[in-house]
Amino acid sequence: MSRTRKDSRQGTVIRVIKRDDGTYDLFLNRELCQSRIHPDGLNNVLCARFGYCQDEFAAILTELNQNGSAERGP
């Protein structure tokens, strides 16, 4: 059995948006899941909860810094 939503829910779309205050909002399938995630805690949320670790997390972070948002899913 899978431990992360990335593996267990292939239909789940996550979207992370960078706020003007430097925190992040996390949306699951267009619904706000978590608000004002501190930058130091973003890795914990995306890696531990959703399975986006190491290179995948780095790619999301790069996208967030360039575009202000990042989306993963089907």
What is the total count of domains within the chain?
1
The answer to whether 16 and 42 are in contact (CB under 8 A) is yes
> Which of 4-8, 10-14, 67-71 is modeled with the greatest confidence?
67-71
As a whole number, mean pLDDT of residues 14-34 equals: 97
pLDDT beyond 70 at 71? yes
Q: Is the pLDDT of residue 5 over 60?
A: no
How much is the pLDDT for 11?
84
Domain that holds residue 13: 5-72
Query: What average pLDDT does this structure show over 41-58?
Result: 95
Structure tokens given for 64 = 């967030």
- Beta bridge mates, 31: 28
The more confident residue out of 74 and 62 is 62
The answer to whether the pTM exceeds 0.95 is no
